[in-house]
Structure 1
């Protein structure tokens, strides 16, 4: 996996203790191992901390609040996603409002993506 500096590990530990409501709601579902997949929360990856991460599929799930719609933050997110993709990590983003409205639909969307990723990984 991606090297993680000590300061990123400390940040991840802090973030685990102060998760947002949408993150808590999604974590309640992901910790049940949907589809038999293990997810980690606030996972350090290089200089980044991923909201949720499935190591088996190299899949990062990010929950974006309204601040992510702002110009400079959106640009930073694009650069971050591109950097992670270069390291083999697929990033999927969901608006926090979607998680708050219907967490079950978000989990279903994640599972649909995992099926696709599993199929891609198993084909030669």
Structure 2
């Protein structure tokens, strides 16, 4: 068992009680308790607890997960690939990925993903 998981298990029991009161259930197959310093992925983000030299304390950092980066790159590649360029005009091909990139940028705007977004 990883460090700090004992406390998480106690909190998990409280959470189960709250969820049960709402008439919902947690899926045991989908739950994996892990300390935040080891990081976890949720809703396309990777969350990690790291020491910040600037703030001189441990802070939570979140950024786009590698899987979400891969998906957006594939989507843009499919939209601007040779197959699509053969059937569209260059002006249309240039405009096609803009809404996708705006959506990606808006979703990850409040994360630490600026450098990742610039790479795309």
TM-score range, shorter chain: under 0.3
Say which one has the larger Rg: 2
Relative to total residues, which structure has the larger helix share, 1 or 2? 1
Relative to total residues, which structure has the larger strand share, 1 or 2? 1
* TM score, norm. by length of structure 2: 0.27
Structure number with higher relative contact order (C-alpha < 8 Å, ≥ 6 residues apart): 1
* TM score, norm. by length of structure 1: 0.27
